[in-house]
Structure 1
Amino acid sequence: MTPANSAARDRRPPYQHAADELRREIKAGRYKPGDQLPSYRELQERFGVANMTARAALNVLREEGLIYTIQGRGSFVTDFEGLGIDYTPPAWYLANGAAGPPGAEAGEAIQIAPKRGGRKAADPTLTEMLTALRDEIRTLSAEHQELRREVEELKKAQQQEPHS
């Protein structure tokens, strides 16, 4: 559990503090792609927060694409490393719009939307394509996890069978 005195100095909302801590642990490799994160109850105890606060923390990570949740099973780390990208949470984007990531030169902006008339209306935007890919990866990752569980169950059943 996080010490109360350090949490008191932290001015971030409790759900953000928990999300940041979990994000750090995922990036550091404590939780690897496919690993299950602690339950809501475990997060409540660890961070000293309410159930809804623990849920909000996981929602932040889910929106960032770091985790996915399977109802009734739990939350799992996505395989963001398999995409060949260095994951950076979009907090700078949400806080500053198109001002650029932390450490960007003053006045250096990232173009988020194309200029008017720059493309046909029917063409999907990069954001739409990335969102669709992320959703597909989440689905495949969930299917992969389910198959891994089935294989483990089959192995256990095979080991328990009496040998003739």
Structure 2
Amino acid sequence: MTPAPDKKQDRRPPYQHAADELRRDIKQGRFKPGEQMPPVRELQQRFGVANMTARSALNVLRDEGLIYTIHGRGSFVADVGEATGEFKIDYTPPAWYLANDNEAEAEEEAREGKPDAESTGPSLAELLTALRDEIRVLSAEHQELRREVEELKKAQQPPRS
């Protein structure tokens, strides 16, 4: 028998797959705050990837603030709040991760007869339009503030004789 094909192929690079797995391990507590992450060589073997691919996965987690690196010592899991279990840093997973992470939840809700997020919440196009409009408003406010600063600077300059 041939194995069943995946429902849909994920075209993301291998380093993102590795980063996803490591992120899940951190979120599920397999790696505790302050604990050292596995060495790059071990990650290479675990994920079947090249050295630079494993390093790129760690770079993604470092950029997200989930881990930090001490030169010559290795990478370590960032601290989380004791009471809440939330990361102390302002951690927001990337949108593509949230989309992939929520697919399983959406499938489960569909099986249970719950409405999916798309039918109850704003669409991506609506969110993008709202963000664009907000950026335009902020840009206009920024320009207005720059004009005010220039006027204040001119008012503070001594008159030329």
Could you state the TM-score of these two structures normalised by the residue count of structure 1? 0.54
Task: Give the gaps of 5 or more residues in structure 2.
Answer: 81-85, 100-116, 147-161
- Corresponding residue number in structure 1 for 2:122: 105
The aligned residue for residue 50 of structure 1 is 50
Q: What's the RMSD between the two structures over aligned residues?
A: 3.2
- Matched residue, 2:14: 14
1:115-134 → structure 2 map (5 Å cutoff): 115-119=138-142, 120=145
| Cα deviation 1:53-72 (Å, max 9, x = unaligned) | 00000011111111111111
1:11-44 C-alpha deviation (Å, 9 max, x unpaired) = 3211111000000111111112111110000101
Identity of aligned residues (%): 63
Deviation at 1:90, TM superposition (A): 1.9
Q: Which whole-Å deviations, capped at 9, do the CAs of 1:48-97 have from their partners, x for residues lacking one?
A: 11100000000111111111111110001112435286x4412349x9xx
Which secondary structure state, in structure 1, belongs to the residue aligned with residue 138 of structure 2?
coil
Which sections of structure 1, spanning at least 5 residues, go unmatched? 96-101, 122-164
Contact 2:65 2:89 in 1 (8 A): no
Number of the residue aligned with 1:91: 95
Secondary structure of the residue aligned to 1:42 is helix
Inter-partner Cα distance in structure 2 for 1:76 and 1:69: 6
> Structure 2 vs 1, CA of residues 88 and 118 (structure 1 numbering), >3 Å: closer, same or farther?
same
- What is residue 37 of structure 1 aligned with on the other side? 37
Larger radius of gyration: 2
Aligned length: 107
The code of the aligned residue for 1:118 comes to E
